[in-house]
Amino acid sequence: MISMALKDWVSANSNKLLGHTIVQKWGSDLPFLFKVLSVRKALSIQAHPDKDLAKVLHKFMPSAYKDDNHKPEMALAITHFQALCGFITLEVHIVLDNVPEIVQVVGSEVANQVFDTTNADGEDKVKSVMRLIFTQLMSATKEIVTTATTKLKNRLHMENQVRQLTEKEQLVLELERQYPDDVGVMSAFFLNYVKLNPGEALYLGANEPHAYMFGDCVECMATSDNVVRAGLTPKHRDVKTLCSMLTYKQGCPEILKGVALNSYVTRYLPPFDEFEVDRCHLSQGESVEFPAVQGPSIFVVTFGEGIIYTSNLTGDINITQGEVLFVPADTEISITSASELHIYRAGVNSMFFQVP
């Protein structure tokens, strides 16, 4: 048997495997990537560029940004899942009142501009102030950050003796333990702390800050490796690019609950053409069909075992936890569980095919 990478096989047979509509839109490569993440240590504070910025970054810094595509993504929780995502709606001066160490880092001049601004001044003004203070914080020297995070840690440990710390304060202490003296520890105060239950999903558009904190999820994204990092990481940081690219839009991110397709399958549709995700849970002995679609699909088995039958193959295929299957376009499949079975499917967003 000759082995071949999926990318090479798809490229050599793109019209047959991807479907003509997909090849016309995205070429001879899969338009999405699909993975399972198990987060035990916080991942970096980051954002993904839009298409225009991705082209610029790839042109001028190809060693750091290896392609020119955007990277919208979605995380679907398998277990309870925690993340930081987007800027809080709370007036920024309240954060400064409660976290004096941030004032120490950004300086009194910047802090005073924050204190003089309220949400009543309008969205553009609030965004401008958020940009100012976040950029000042993330650009601070290592020495200033180290001094401030040490003071923050010591203060919170002392206050924990006389009061219950907030969830965000508890998270910040955990981040400081994982990444001592990192500016990302303090920046967490400006970001929404999101907790997903199993079966809930979070999607992330271009130029929005986020970081995954803890838990297991399946993650789907457009085909790209463009990540701009600025905190909670030993990897390359590009603070200037990150702070300049963010939208500074405030508000809690939308949590997708999914739409039931039948008794076993729930579909999650983010506002991106490149992908959708189906979550399928079967009890032992149950069966479900996945109708043929115009694009390719990838299935990931996260729990249990079963049997899969496709319209393009003769015979059954046994599947078990940890296996990944590629299903070409226009292929109907059915699955029967041999035990409790959890399986996830990623494919091109079905709404894409409905556009006239």
Cβ atoms 181, 3 nearer than 8 A: no
pLDDT tens digits, residue range 120-150? 667 788 888 889 999 999 999 999 999 999 9
- Tokens representing 349? 């967003």
pLDDT at 131: 93
Half-sphere exposure of 3 (CA within 13 A, CB side): 1
DSSP code at position 325: E
pLDDT at 57: 94
- Local structure of 342: helix, strand or coil: strand
As annotated, the active-site residues are: 229
1 has pLDDT over 60: no
Q: What is the DSSP string of 48-91?
A: ---HHHHHHHHHH-TTTS--S----EEEEESS-EEEEEEE--S-
292 has pLDDT over 90: yes
Report residue 213's pLDDT band, with 50, 70 and 90 as the boundaries.
Answer: very high
What whole-number distance in Å separates Cα of residue 138 and Cα of residue 190? 12
pLDDT tens digits, residue range 293-318? 999 999 999 999 999 998 776 678 89
Phi, psi for 55 (deg, rounded to 5): -65, -40
What whole-number distance in Å separates Cα of residue 261 and Cα of residue 229? 37
Which residue segments constitute the domains of the chain, with CATH numbers given? 31-252 (1.10.441.10), 259-350 (2.60.120.10)
Query: In sequence order, what are the residues at sequence separation of 6 or more whose Cβ sits closer than 8 angstroms to the Cβ of residue 146?
Result: 181
**Stretch 213-232: mean pLDDT:** 95
Phi, psi for 292 (deg, rounded to 5): -65, 140
What whole-number distance in Å separates Cα of residue 258 and Cα of residue 234? 35
pLDDT tens digits, residue range 56-100? 999 999 988 999 999 999 999 999 999 999 999 877 788 888 999
What whole-number distance in Å separates Cα of residue 335 and Cα of residue 285? 10
| Residue (of 313, 221, 292) closest to 30 by Cα position | 221
- Give percent of the chain above pLDDT 90: 81
